[in-house]
Amino acid sequence: MSSHREAPEISKDPVADNTDVYAFVSPNDPNTVTLIANYIPLEWPPGGPNFYEFGDDVLYEINIDNDGDGRADITYQFNFRTSVQNRDTFLYNTGPISSLTDPNWNVRQLYSVTRVKNGRETVLGDALASPPCNIGPFSTPDYDTLAQEAIHVLPSGETVFAGQRAEGFYVDLGSVFDLLDLRPFQNLHINPMAAAPGVDGTNRLNVHTMAIQLPKSMLTRDGSNPTNPADPRSVIGVYASASRRKAIIFGSNGEVEEYGPWVQVSRLGNPLFNEVIIPLGLKDFWNSQSPNKDRQFLKYVEYPEVPQRLVEVYPGVFPDLAAYKKARADLVAILLTGIPTGIIPGFQNATGQTPADLLRLNMAIPPTAAPNFLGILGGDLAGFPNGRRVTDDVFTIELRAIAGVTIPLVDPSFTPDAAASAVTDGLDPSSVASPFLASFPYLGIPYSGFYNPS
């Protein structure tokens, strides 16, 4: 949930709240790319009887920019519709659910997938089944099988999944929002306590996931299969969004009617961008904008607030980057334009001069046999900020970058403080209780409401 509840308005609208975006070359099929967008933050597994579901009134989109202008060249749209089989019961299910067509399953969701390319809409699949939530051993006794049934191979060549998954983003939310009182470093804080391991604030929570796996050639601007990391055609930019109708009317009979064009209410490319880069007064506005308009937010990337806060809450520990007095060209490259050739040997994911918050993936770089969860900071060119894998520790990577560890990439005269290279919330992929999967859709089996601790 790298972008959960990050803006005032979207915090009141969880069904449209885009929490995480992932883009990576599929490790089980390196000729394909997997794109994942998560919504609905902090799902408490026992939260029935109206369990979590996608919004029938939300347009969900995964967007791909393959020519570097910050605009979507290819968009995959997901539209959902809910069907209640028996309106005379309060129950989500009236018995064990053994299949996606089991009559015991009362509240079901179907969806369509539409590809928009060059302004042309093509419906790729309709009436695709989403699996139920993971309720417990009596209601959903073989959840893994139900989820596997909900993986659909489309005639056009894409594989899709939409349904509940275990939250894969691990972060110590409690310490982060307590004025960055990071537990491994809290002995150095303005209110010192003994150093301690991190506590995963998203532990045993779920999200709702839309995932699509497709051949690389479907994503490049010319239909080629990228093999040369230095070729600009190998790089794509990815972001996800959610939109609602412009007008909503609440009737006196409890019904809701919607009118007008779709209006974007949430978007996400790089993790934590709106969360920690954009100031509070602009967060709702940022969510409404297309990435190609992100030049208006450039100064917040060039002069971020977090380094100043680190100096305030950890006196004498982190460097005072206010004294650096230079625009953060390293962060602009990482977050807004991509990293150009010559900065990191054998790597680039640049998309040109248009500043845009996009998750940039060089598709010609193959998956790593033994991934390092610190991504490029850990010497693994297949990891964040080259796209984002489900196991990448994006919080630690971005925190270290913002603290100054990546400045020498563009300014060799700068030497980062040792603390910038070591700062962390103390978590890693092993913090996630539900194991990540080795194949699509990669995020783990959602936590059961029955077994979830109170």
Q: Render pLDDT for 258-295 as a digit per residue (tens, 0 to 9).
A: 899 999 999 999 999 999 999 999 999 999 999 999 99
Q: In the predicted model, is pLDDT for residue 398 greater than 70?
A: yes
Tokens of residue 253, six digits: 């009979």
Tens-place pLDDT, residues 171-228: 999 999 999 999 999 999 999 999 999 999 999 999 999 999 999 999 999 999 999 9
pLDDT-above-90 percentage for the chain: 92
Distance CA 58, CA 153 (A): 23
Q: Using DSSP, state whether 141 is helix, strand or coil.
A: coil
CA–CA distance, 56 with 65 (Å, rounded to integer): 26
Question: DSSP string covering 197-265, please?
Answer: ----TTTT-EEEEEEEEEEGGGTSTTS-----TTSGGGEEEEEEEEEEEEEEEE-TTS-EEEEEEEEEE
Q: Give the DSSP letter of residue 398.
A: H
Written as six digits, the tokens of 397 are 């990577």
CA 165 to chain CA mean position, Å: 13
**pTM exceeding the 0.95 threshold for the entire prediction:** yes
Q: Which amino acid is at 403?
A: A
Question: 214 with 159: CB under 8 angstroms?
Answer: yes
> Averaged over 45-73, what is the pLDDT?
97
Here the tokens at position 211 are 């995932």
**Tokens, residue 119:** 């302004």
Q: Which tens digit of pLDDT belongs to each residue from 313-346?
A: 999 998 888 888 899 999 999 999 999 999 999 9
Residue 433 contacts residue 205 (beta carbons within 8 Å): no
- 3-state SS, 285-336, equals HHHHCCHHHHHHHHHHHHCCCHHHHHHHHCCCCCCCHHHCCCCCHHHHHHHH
- CA 148, 153, 158, 162: dihedral to nearest 10 degrees? -40
Residue 84 has pLDDT above 70, yes or no: yes
Instruction: Give SS3 for 351.
Output: coil
Residues with Cβ within 8 Å of residue 187, at least 6 apart in sequence:
193, 194, 195
Give the up-direction half-sphere exposure of residue 177: CA atoms within 13 A in the CB hemisphere: 12
Question: What three-state secondary structure class fits 248?
Answer: strand
Q: What is the pLDDT of residue 417?
A: 87
Query: Over pLDDT 70: what percentage of the chain?
Result: 99
A 10 A CB-CB count for 46 gives: 15
Confidence label for 454 from pLDDT (cuts 50, 70 and 90): low
- Residue 420: DSSP 8-state: H
